[in-house]
């Protein structure tokens, strides 16, 4: 079989390798999936304005996020239940991140436990741990302590899920995990699992029962008291929330609408990015996710002020098609596309990318 040559081909092939329940879980958005689609089409509203006659014979994609040096401004977003795509799941993704010299953000709801993931590669690692705050604050504290002890470099606090958005594909499928998979970070601590339900997504029921809908800005202060790790706040779409996050000690912000999976009709992340960068980009690193499928998409995000982007669903397509090799190849395709787009825009290094490269049409 010839290797796919772009992310869209990986997406088409992944359909053949995933169960309907897994495919719908990965691909779906909330309600009418308007925000899911808008995350993608937002990139079409921004046009590139390339510079000419610039020496781009030597190109460099390296950058630094929270003081961590990485080889490309492309991180792997936190994604739950990666073993639905491939038996190696998060272990394979961790090896890819290490091989490519970038950061992987491990989900609280991973199907491999955080200690095993941290030990997966045999090279220095830049892993972050994504945190959902549970009603059981003792459980949350224990997760933070485990992540710090295992060598994770930051906590990524998701703040846009006080309750779960209504994902009708999951509801129709009564989504739950197969019997041979588990919430690997949680079953050993509190025997938590995704329930089976008669008329609802099991994940919806889990979030309603376990995650804390009373989370406030003060809880960031509480988390700061538990750990020396920097806290990155994920799920910000407004300048006032960005300012509050920084005031409460956040060292980074991820502009995100949860891949269109929470509030349908929410602003596309690329459209929200400039406002957040203008508010706090001079104080903390601002990253973004959502809808990225080409290197030119990444270039536009960087031009609008993102220090780096996070890739979610496409990594799962790569895993589904060819495991670790597929996920690695997919990210290499994105990296190479970004390098070409930079060269054709007159940018030899990441620092050459600025807002003059894009225009909103």
Binding site for glyoxylate, by residue number, is: 25, 132, 167, 261
347, 57 in Cβ contact below 8 A?
Answer: no
DSSP 63: E
Which backbone phi and psi does 308 adopt, to 5 degrees?
A: -165, 170
Exactly one of 86, 258, 282, 329 is catalytic; name it. Answer: 258
327, 318 in Cβ contact below 8 A?
Answer: yes
Residues in the annotated binding site: 25, 78-80, 107, 130, 132, 158, 167, 234, 256, 258, 261, 289-293, 312-313
How far apart (Å, rounded) are the C-alpha atoms in residues 334 and 308?
13
The number of C-alpha atoms within 13 Å of 257 and in the hemisphere containing its C-beta is 28
In this structure, are strands 74-76 and 308-311 parallel, antiparallel, or unpaired?
parallel
Give the residues across from 69 on adjacent strands.
64
Does the active-site annotation cover 258?
Answer: yes
Residues in the annotated binding site for FMN: 78-80, 107, 130, 158, 234, 256, 258, 289-293, 312-313
Distance of CA 253 to the CA centre of its chain: 12
How far apart (Å, rounded) are the C-alpha atoms in residues 188 and 179?
16
Alpha helices (H) in the chain, listed in sequence order: 7-14, 20-27, 34-41, 89-100, 114-119, 137-149, 168-173, 187-190, 202-210, 218-226, 239-247, 269-280, 295-303, 313-344
Known catalytic residues are 258
């Amino acid at each position: 079989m010839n290797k796919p040559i772009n992310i869209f081909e990986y997406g088409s092939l992944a359909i053949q390798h995933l169960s309907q329940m897994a495919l719908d879980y990965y691909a779906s958005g909330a309600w009418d999936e308007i925000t899911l689609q808008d995350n993608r089409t937002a990139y079409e509203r921004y046009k590139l304005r390339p510079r000419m006659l610039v020496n781009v014979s030597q190109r460099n994609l390296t950058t630094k996020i929270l003081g961590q040096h990485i080889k490309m401004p492309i991180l792997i977003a936190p994604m739950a239940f990666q073993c639905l795509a491939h038996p190696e799941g998060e272990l394979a993704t961790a090896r890819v991140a290490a091989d490519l010299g970038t950061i992987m953000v491990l989900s609280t709801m991973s199907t491999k436990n955080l200690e095993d993931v941290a030990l997966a590669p045999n090279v220095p690692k830049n892993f972050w741990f994504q945190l959902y705050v549970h009603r059981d604050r003792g459980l949350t504290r224990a997760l933070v302590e485990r992540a710090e002890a295992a060598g994770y470099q930051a906590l990524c606090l998701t703040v846009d899920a006080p309750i779960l958005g209504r994902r009708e594909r999951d509801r129709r499928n009564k989504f739950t995990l197969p019997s041979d998979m588990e919430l690997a970070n949680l079953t050993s601590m509190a025997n938590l699992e995704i329930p089976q339900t008669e008329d609802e997504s099991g994940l919806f029921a889990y979030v309603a029962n376990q995650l804390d809908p009373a989370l406030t800005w003060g809880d960031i202060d509480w988390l700061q008291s538990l750990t020396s790790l920097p806290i990155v706040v994920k799920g910000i779409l407004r300048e006032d929330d960005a300012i509050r996050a920084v005031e409460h000690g956040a060292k980074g912000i991820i502009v995100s609408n949860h891949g269109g999976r929470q509030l349908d009709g929410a602003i596309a992340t690329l459209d929200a990015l400039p406002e957040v960068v203008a508010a706090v980009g001079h104080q903390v690193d601002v990253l973004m996710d959502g809808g990225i499928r080409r290197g030119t998409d990444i270039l536009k995000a960087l031009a609008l002020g993102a220090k780096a982007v996070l890739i979610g669903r496409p990594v799962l397509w790569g895993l589904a098609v060819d495991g670790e090799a597929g996920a690695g190849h997919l990210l290499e395709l994105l990296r190479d596309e970004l390098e070409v787009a930079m060269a054709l825009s007159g940018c030899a290094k990441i620092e050459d990318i600025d807002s003059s490269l894009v225009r909103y049409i």
